[in-house]
Amino acid sequence: MRLPTTFVLGVAAFLAVSATAATAAQASPARLLGVSQTVCQSATTPTGWVQTAYFDWYTCGTPGSVYYNAKTIKDVTDTPSGGTVTACITPPPAGFYATSFSYSFSCEMTKTPNGIFNDQHTLTNLNGRPSGSTAIICGLQSSPPGWTTVAVVQSYLCIYPRSGGLGNNAISIRKL
């Protein structure tokens, strides 16, 4: 039986692409930037990881509570200095600071979302920033270690409630 030439060429092209992809996968490091995984809500989020979504998952038991029983978490330890990640509002990893707030349905932890408050933040990695770098971080707080407060400021990116006044809601900082 003779196979059509186009079929043979198609199979050859597929095998060549597959071999190239396999070679690239072997050459890449074992740890991938921003690896995500699904875990039960009761699981502790590892150091250097953030929550990115909440939902029900039958692996974690029968849904029924007012809270979702599972979460998606993401490894942010390889985020470069000055890089950003978007995560549900929970305590950030060391050296990451909120630089904006927004709303995401995925970050509603309860099944009765009211949509009134922002529940997601953009986190900027300030670790390893060079001397003289500046940033505006949300919230009235002390400067991070190795940084100094330049001014208390108003930032539209840092409004926590979805509506309401602006006011002084952030600090401008500079790396020493």
Condensed to tens digits (0 to 9), the pLDDT of residues 66-89 reads: 889 999 999 999 999 999 999 999
73 touches 100 (CB < 8 A) = no
Q: Which residues contact 48 (CB under 8 A, 6 or more apart)?
A: 75, 76, 77, 93
Out of 33-37, 48-52, 63-67, 128-132, which region has the weakest mean confidence (pLDDT)? 33-37
Does 25 have pLDDT greater than 60? Answer: no
Mean predicted confidence (pLDDT) in 55-68? 90
The pLDDT of residue 5 is 47
Q: Work out the pLDDT band at 10, boundaries 50, 70, 90.
A: very low
Apex CA 125: angle with CA 119 and CA 131, to 5°? 140
- The residue among 113, 84, 99, 107 whose CA lies nearest residue 153 is 99
The pLDDT of residue 17 is 37
The pLDDT of residue 148 is 98
133 touches 97 (CB < 8 A) = no
The alpha carbon of 82 is separated from its chain's Cα centroid by a whole number of angstroms, namely 14
82: tokens are 């000055």
126: tokens are 């300030």
The pLDDT of residue 161 is 61
Does 7 have pLDDT greater than 80? Answer: no
The alpha carbon of 54 is separated from its chain's Cα centroid by a whole number of angstroms, namely 13
The pLDDT of residue 153 is 95
Residue type, 143: S
The pLDDT of residue 159 is 85
Q: Residues of the chain with pLDDT > 70: what percent? A: 76
Q: How confident is the prediction for the chain on average, in pLDDT?
A: 82
The pLDDT of residue 117 is 75
